[in-house]
Structure 1
Amino acid sequence: MALDLITPRIPLLDAKHYDEDSVFTAENMIRAARRQKQMTATPVPDICVLDPDGDLLRYAQRHGAPVCAGWACYHTQMVVLDHGGRRFGIIGNAVGSAFAVLLAEQVFASGCQLLISLTSAGRIDATGAGPYFMLIDRALRDEGTSYHYLPPSRYAHAPADLIGKIIQAAEAAGVNLNVGASWTTDAPFRETQSAIEAARAEGILAVEMEAAALYAFAAARGERVICLAQITNEMGQIEGDFEKGQENGAIDALNLLGLVAGSVQP
């Protein structure tokens, strides 16, 4: 009997119907959470931050940042930190594409106007040593969540107008901010040498776990999202990997967040 060589249908790419509204919405879940928690419909800060490593959240908590009274999420806590004349709603430990977008849906449904993700990332580009910051302008879609928001393509792209404003602000302030592509993966412990070399050959600078999905969400929903990465490691292959600097990088991170917010959210 001849082997069946027909490629099986891949569920990830099947029956997506991108122009159809979801039955389950963030607004519905927030309404239920507020009812159960007996919370009023208080908006979250205009600027919210996803902090996958949790270092910024812990810094804010050590310095007395209060819990956000309007954040009704079942899965996370948001604290409110005032810095440089701006108020940031910070959510820690939002690791991975699915979790990041689950939270992105909810922050915008709760009053957010700008979402910034600041993740740590592994270095793909062979030049320079970490830690340093990177502005992700596009992300390789090697994860699953983005395909629920946009049809298949190789990259998800940041809003071009926001990228331009941030680059201009960084140059004016004398801030060294690398700009380029990242590889978004769902499986960090499957970053093989062959995969790393393929990403490097494509001009990718770093590997992380959220940007492609967040940019796909932003494009599909028309929301304002920016993804930053702090290049902190070479996949644990060298001594001293994953170091971020003073306060686990929180001071430098806050300064960068202030610059980004000031450039796109006057």
Structure 2
Amino acid sequence: MKGRLPLHPGKHILPAVPDPAEHAAYVREREPAATLADLDGVVLLYQRHMVKQAVSRHAARRLDWVRADLRVLEYQGGEAGICGGFGPGAPAAALVLEQLIALGARRVITVGTAASLRADLRPGDLVVCDSALRDEGVSHHYLPPRAHITPSPHLTGHLADSLRALDVPVRQGPTWTTDAPYRETAAEIAGYGSLGVLTADMEAAGVFAVAEHRDIEAAAVFAVADTLIDRRPRQDHTGTQNALNTALEAALDSLRAAPHLLDPGLR
């Protein structure tokens, strides 16, 4: 076996033995009408307190359908899901996303924190992701080898528009998705930064890969929490929490505003 991912070449075109539809069937044994197809979409959240904040602002009900804290919020005359409490990293996000898709979710926005790779991006800044470097493991089991993966341009555009409508500064650019946040090296930080990569995160490439494989829409927005330039120990920043709150509201806005697509080619 060669030292590359995945170890079995070409596995992205092979059928898998476990099927997320099995999970949906298990849920529907208890609740035959269980579906997320009627929602505007689902927002994935990685900070546990964000779920609590959202349900304090909007009428919500809890659904015990996935391995996470899944709530359905009433928002602007419609309904959207928020899903958190499953921990950080692409593997956890991918597992939950597969279950959400099997239950009918067709659009997802990931809202989380990221570290800056640029001196002009500071804690509290907002970044809409338009591509992700695949330096994690999950995406390589879903898609053929290539360095980058892109989200849905349609949903990403609505997300950026929703943030601008809130009159907050927002940047748009690539992220570097890695499974190993304590192995981010100076050579990588400098190299990727010089190529225009704005942030480092742990989930985007995996989420985008699952979405592409399952033919749904996905987008991502980050609140910058710390910086890998002139590194200092991480601290709590009021600006980062405010940015997360803004990002969540913009994600809900964009899910509500963006029409559902009938043509998968427009993803």
Please, what TM-score do these two structures have when normalized by structure 2? Answer: 0.84
- Stretches of 4+ aligned residues off by more than 6 angstroms: none
| C-alpha RMSD over aligned residues | 2.7
Q: State the alpha-carbon separation in 2 of the partners of residues 62 and 152 from structure 1.
A: 43
**Count of residues in correspondence between the two structures:** 256
Deviations 1:36-93 (A, max 9, x none): xx33332233311110112321213445754433x522x2121122234442211113
Deviations 1:161-214 (A, max 9, x none): 333344455556644221000000101111122221122112110011111111
1:43 maps onto 2:40 in alignment: no
1:30 maps onto 2:41 in alignment: no
Q: Which residue of 2 aligns with 1:4?
A: none
The one-letter amino acid of 2:84's match is G
Q: State the alpha-carbon separation in 2 of the partners of residues 232 and 181 from structure 1.
A: 16
Q: Which residue of 2 aligns with 1:188?
A: 181
Deviations 1:6-39 (A, max 9, x none): x83435242343223222111112222443xx33
The one-letter amino acid of 2:209's match is A
- What fraction of aligned residue pairs are identical, expressed as a percent? 26
How far apart are residue 232 of structure 1 and its match? 1.5
**Equivalence map 1:155-194=2 (5 Å):** 155-171=148-164, 174-194=167-187
Q: State the alpha-carbon separation in 2 of the partners of residues 86 and 229 from structure 1.
A: 25
The one-letter amino acid of 1:87's match is E
1:261 maps onto 2:258 in alignment: no
SS at match of 1:183: strand
1:150 maps onto 2:143 in alignment: yes
1:91 maps onto 2:91 in alignment: no
Q: Which residue of 1 aligns with 2:93?
A: 100
Contact 2:112 2:244 in 1 (8 A): no
1:57 maps onto 2:37 in alignment: no
The one-letter amino acid of 1:31's match is A
Q: 1:125 to 1:159 in 2, by over 3 A?
A: same
Q: Which residue of 1 aligns with 2:72?
A: 80
Q: Which residue of 2 aligns with 1:214?
A: 207
Please, what TM-score do these two structures have when normalized by structure 1? Answer: 0.84
Q: State the alpha-carbon separation in 1 of the partners of residues 56 and 226 from structure 2.
A: 26
Structure 1: 5+ residue stretches without partners: 1-6
Q: State the alpha-carbon separation in 2 of the partners of residues 210 and 26 from structure 1.
A: 19
How far apart are residue 112 of structure 1 and its match? 1.5
Q: Which residue of 2 aligns with 1:15?
A: 9
Structure 2: 5+ residue stretches without partners: 261-267
SS at match of 1:257: helix
